[in-house]
A and B are shown apart, each in its own frame.
Chain A
Amino acid sequence: MSVTLQGFRRTGKSSEGSKRTAIEETRTDKIFLTGVRIMLWLALIVVSVPIIYIVANSFSSASAVSAGRVLLWPVEPSIKAYQQAFSDPLIMKGYLNSFIYAIGGTLISVTLTIAIAYPLSRRTFYGRNVIMSLLIFTMLFSGGLIPTYLVVQDMGLLNTRWAMVIPSAIGVWQVIIARTFFRSTIPDELYEAATIDGAGDLRFLWSIVLPLSKPVIAVIALMYAIFQWNSYFDALIYLKDPGLYPLQIVLRNVLILNTLTGSTTANNLAQQLEQQQLANVLKYALIVISSLPVLVIYPFVARHFTKGVMVGAVKG
């Protein structure tokens, strides 16, 4: 928590300025401020109510959820849906796959991003402007879905785990963020000093630049990890084997297409109804389970995210 609080302090500067003159607040300004406060409360409610509603439902009993009796607090508290979710082989497999893709993909992406961003940040790297323009052009124009699909197919990546991490390995945005960071924080003098001590470019990158660049590496790593965790499009078009599906695809099947996982073992109507009701709660629980990893790390990332975006936007 404290991390975030610190992070947002930066943006609060101008309001601190008005603190000194608080006494001078005129009546119109007071009315105005009340209006502002009401508006912010509304924003808070509009954003949080759907989230609270989902969480409350996920912890309620199946019959209460199916009757629509849950609003913002669990009714007849129960964790049955969570037990069901965690014992479902498809969901757990999806969870595991998503972790594999997020961790593996992030490792590959960060390595490749630094490998191109660092040389691009060096003035002595000949052709860096041409390469940068080539990268930026890919942001503006792409061959499209099918031509990319054909490449992935030709590379033999279809229906393999690699299809999840290779075709989207490098983000141009992340390259710009990393390059800007290197350029603005690693002085040329440092390189010259290292050369005198006999370090080559790679040695300098490894022993001096990388340790100094931990903040930016953390930012781009988290960006890639969250992106990878949340993505489902690549899986939708490149994967066919359900054993390789990431969590988002499993979620889509359960939540949107309404395909229930597991087999229906119900042999009488009452049991069938119960399973039907549990399937409803399961949806809410799944939403919570799948968003939890991201929402837990988000408060720590938020500040860096913003900073990264600003660096990229201002100096890119």
Chain B
Amino acid sequence: MSATYEVRDSESSAAPPTPAPAKVVTRTPLPRPSQWTQARRSLRRHWQLYLLVIVPLAYFVIFKYIPISNAVIAFKNYSPIKGPWGSDWVGLKNFELFFQNPVFWTLVKNTFILAAYTVLASFPIPIILAIALNEIRNGRFKKLVQLVTYAPYFISTVVVVSMTILVLSPRLGFVNDAIGLFGVPAVDFLGNPDYFRHIYVWSDVWQTTGYSAVIYLAALAGIDPALHESARIDGASRLQRIRNVDLPGIMPTAVIILILGVGNIMSIGFEKAFLLQNPLNQSHAEIIATYVYKTGLLNADFSMATAIGLFNSVVNLVLLVVVNFVAKRITGNGLWS
């Protein structure tokens, strides 16, 4: 690599070049060209790269950013003929109607409890599984457990919900057979709103624990073995080493996963709640996402559905920012700086 090419490359790069190798030191530092000059040079020299991104960028504009601008219909009375921007403004009417609707608090409560319960249950269990796997020396058994617990992650939501319904079925499911052994009469789990949250959360734990554990296992593998060795020399038991070496070691990973979990608290999955719903458990199973679907696509009230969706997105974004801020303050780790 000759010095000429070093120079050429740094000229056209937008960011300052990486620390210059010794041989470049000889050249006199050029005055940094203006942003526009840099952009024009880069465009001329690398036009093919710009050509490449046109279609993907168009995708993001059309399917991600136009919808954001379309969300303006939350403040309008949407008319399909006039289009999102041509429709008449109604101000905050849709939001007021939604907040006054008796269903509002039920929706917020259902969504929040379901999401918080999911985060609480699915946060510690993968950590426990990962640490347990990490303690085991028997390679084959360990791999078997990993392979099996990871598998449900790849099964579709429709199938997981179907399995749940079949397994819990009052007439055929083995869960009712099992509790029948203790003389308990068969329970219609899905027909009772009180069970909905438990079913939702624990089927989720069943599906995702193995997957999340793998992430922690990778973090555990990254811990310096010297720490374990010196702890052992100091006479630390396995339990003490877990508490004082492993747990602090996976802390950054755990914090990020917790932030992501809490950040998603209001955008909790439409798919599963919708599939598990039936007329009997509606009172606990109706969450914001499913209500948006019903208002918007089944009742065709586009403006109202958009307003509810927008409310949800904003709350979600605020939550994510706040949680990230708090996590950074407490642990020094966050999603972004």
Chain A residues with a Cβ under 8 A of chain B: 4-5, 8-15, 17-19, 21-22, 24, 26, 28-29, 32-33, 36-37, 39-40, 43-44, 46-48, 50-51, 53-54, 57, 65-66, 68, 71, 112-113, 115-116, 118-120, 122-128, 131, 134-135, 138, 140-151, 155, 166-167, 169-170, 188-189, 192, 196, 200-202, 205, 226, 229-233, 237, 248, 251-252, 255-256, 280, 283-284, 287, 290-291, 294-295, 298-299, 302, 306, 309-310, 313
Contacts and interface: CB of A to CB of B under 8 A. Distances in A.
Interface in B32-88: 38-39, 42-43, 45-46, 48-53, 55-57, 59-60, 62-71, 73, 84
A264 to B, nearest CB: 21
B229 interface: yes
A287 B238 contact: no
A29 B241 CA distance: 11
Interface in B1-29: 1, 5, 9, 12-15
A44 B142 CA distance: 10
A107 B5 CA distance: 36
A231 to B, nearest CB: 8
Interface in B204-230: 206, 209-210, 214-215, 217-218, 220-221, 223, 225, 228-229
Interface residues of B, number: 109
Which 4 A-B pairs give the minimum distances between C-beta atoms? A143-B67, A144-B309, A147-B70, A230-B156
A146 B70 CA distance: 9
Contacts of A169: 59, 63
Given A126-B43, A147-B71, A232-B156, A14 B238 contact: no
Contacts of A54: 163, 166-167
B198 interface: no
B181 interface: no
A115 B135 contact: no
B255 to A, nearest CB: 12
10 contacts: A18-B137, A47-B151, A48-B148, A50-B206, A134-B60, A143-B66, A151-B67, A201-B48, A202-B48, A237-B297
A195 B209 CA distance: 48
Contacts of B296: 145-146, 149
B282 interface: no
Nearest to B54: A115
B330 interface: no
Nearest to A29: B238
Contacts of A66: 172
Nearest to B203: A50
Contact of B174 (A36, A48, A53, A143): A53
Interface string B270-288: 1100010000000000000
B132 A143 contact: no
B136 interface: yes
A245 B183 CA distance: 44
B152 A18 contact: no
B113 interface: no
Nearest to A226: B154
A115 B161 contact: no
Contacts of B141: 37, 40
Contact of B68 (A43, A47, A141): A141
